[in-house]
Amino acid sequence: MRPIIGIAANLLVDKCERVKNPVKHAVEQDYIRAVEQAGGIPVVIPVQADRQAVLDIARHLDGILLIGGSDINPVLYRHRGPHAAGQVYPLVDQFYLDLIQAADALKLPVFGICKGLQALNVAFGGTLHQDLPAHVQDRPMMQPSHRVTLKEGSLVGNAVDASVLEVNSFHHQAVKDLAPGFEAVAFGEDGVIEALERQDQDPVMVGVQWHPEILAKQRDEASRRLFEAFVRRCGNRRQDASDLSEM
């Protein structure tokens, strides 16, 4: 069986909705397609507050994909003073953190994209820069807008098999203090951390600040390889688990 990848939904207020409840639990199709193309079975997990329920759902998964979304509530990383966070959804933030905690407990691989990377950093004690407008590109999301340099030998570097990538950029926040136990493995030309990995690789937790799910639509090989490496890792874990159950 192909690995089952849980994708955390966001809350979306549908401004066109006139009759039914306008609050929807949504995942952009690009993430779903990217997981499918990489050989995984995508499953959307609705936002929920019950930590035990999140853990019970995670038991049925082989990996978790955390996607882009609104800013993380600065309270969660003990930010003092003025902050530039836009609209925050505390329920979504807690849901992301609960999923990361469940993944850690169950040894499930996690791939975080944009807010997903930031959630990994915050979950393990890191902080975020409040506002970096230079990383919000004007051009279409399918076009790269800046270069990143990858650390040789890192999971991300190995997955894409390159030392430099041209990436898109749609984040006005970024990692400030890196969480203990994590390593920065990609940097923008201005030094902004563009990818991170947990040093303890059981389970693997990797985050990228750009949007490979969008570049993958353009047949961007590096973006596709990132998803393939993640799904493969989730599949290996499933294989290990079934080996154990046969013992």
Active site amino acids: 114, 211, 213
Smaller CB distance to Mn ion: residue 135 or 225?
Answer: 135
- For 206, the 3-state DSSP assignment is strand
* Residue 118 is a binding residue for Mn ion (CB under 5 A): no
CB nearer to Mn ion: give 127 or 173. Answer: 173
Return the number of the residue (127 or 169) whose C-beta is nearest Mn ion: 169
Query: 156 is written with which tokens?
Result: 């991300």
Tell me how far, at minimum, the Cβ of 17 lies from Mn ion, in Å.
Answer: 33
Peptide bond preceding 203 in cis form (omega within 30 of 0): yes
Residue 169 binds to Mn ion (criterion: CB under 5 A): yes
Annotate 64-126 with DSSP letters as a single string.
EEE---SBPPGGGGT--S-----SB-HHHHHHHHHHHHHHHHHT--EEEETHHHHHHHHHTT-
Closest distance of CB 243 from Mn ion, Å = 40
> Are the beta carbons of 210 and 193 closer than 8 angstroms?
no
Name the closest residue to Mn ion (Cβ): 169
Alpha-carbon gap, residue 214 to 109, rounded angstroms:
21
Q: How far is the CB of 90 from Mn ion (least distance, A)?
A: 25
Q: Smallest Cα–Cα separation from 215: which of 145, 161, 150, 155?
A: 145
- The answer to whether residue 168 forms part of the interface with Mn ion (CB under 5 A) is no
For residue 135, state whether it binds Mn ion (rule: CB under 5 A): yes
Q: Looking at 18-26, 62-70, 134-142, 214-222, which segment touches Mn ion (CB under 5 A)? A: 134-142
Which C-beta is closer to Mn ion: that of 65 or that of 167? 167
Angle value at C-alpha 115, between 168 and 43, nearest 5 degrees: 100
Closest separation between CB of residue 202 and Mn ion, Å?
A: 29
**How many residues belong to the site for Mn ion (CB under 5 A)?**
2
Question: Which residues sit at the interface with Mn ion, rule CB under 5 A?
Answer: 135, 169
